[in-house]
Amino acid sequence: MKIRRYIWLFFLLAIWMGCEEPVDLDIIPDQEKLVVISNFSDIDTLEVVVTKTISVLSQETATYLSDAIVEVFEGEKLVDRLNFVSSDNAQIPSYYRSNFLVPERGITYTIKVEAPGFDPVMAFNFIPEKAIGIDTNTVSFEMKQVDQDVFRTLATFDISVTIQDPPEPNNF
């Protein structure tokens, strides 16, 4: 009989402690801002993705802006105004692309982005000079999966690179 009483007491305590009142968070949404994403490479023409910020509590996906003005400067000199490339594929975002500008090593570029309803933003980037004395010991390349449909082939690759980097000089 005592055990039954303790079980009921434990059960009631568990229910009582399990009841929680939802907390109303008064999170004021910040002003939407431009987000500029670009990976500089001296292998191909410059590509820039322009989107807007999303609340951490939001379930929406990224909104890629098609009406932005994306300009690239070398110092004070305007080098290029990038063109919008639309993408209907959910895997590939819409982006802005240069017709001719391939970034060069050691030159600092400024990307200036303006879009209606947003404050303009600027980003500075450069590709460092090639490091001397770094050797690639091992490179392995393995294709894991290929999915095909009528229009495209998708593949997943594993790439492994082993690098021998002498401690001096600092290459970072």
- Structural domain includes residue 20: no
Average pLDDT over residues 40-67: 86
- Structural domain includes residue 130: no
User: 3-state DSSP call for residue 31?
Assistant: coil
- Structural domain includes residue 76: yes
Paired strand residues for 109: 74, 125
61 with 90, same domain: the answer is yes
- For residue 18, the number of C-alpha atoms closer than 13 Å in the C-beta half-sphere is 6
Examine the pLDDT at 73 and tell me if it is beyond 80: yes
Tell me the per-residue pLDDT of 26-43, one tens digit each, with 9 for 90 and over.
Answer: 666 678 889 999 888 888
99 with 152, same domain: the answer is no
For residues 144 and 157, is the Cβ–Cβ distance under 8 A? yes
46 with 121, same domain: the answer is yes
What residue type is assigned to position 86 of the chain?
Answer: S
139 with 120, same domain: the answer is no
Average pLDDT over residues 133-150: 66
- Structural domain includes residue 25: no
Tell me the per-residue pLDDT of 96-137, one tens digit each, with 9 for 90 and over.
Answer: 999 899 999 889 999 999 999 999 999 998 888 776 666 666
**Average pLDDT of the chain, as a whole number:** 81
- Structural domain includes residue 70: yes
Residue bearing the bigger pLDDT, 16 or 96: 96
> Which candidate, 128, 131, 135, 113, places its Cα nearest to that of 171?
131
Range of the domain at 105: 34-125
The answer to whether the bond into 22 is cis (omega within 30° of 0) is no
What residue type is assigned to position 11 of the chain?
Answer: F
Residue bearing the bigger pLDDT, 137 or 94: 94
114 with 146, same domain: the answer is no
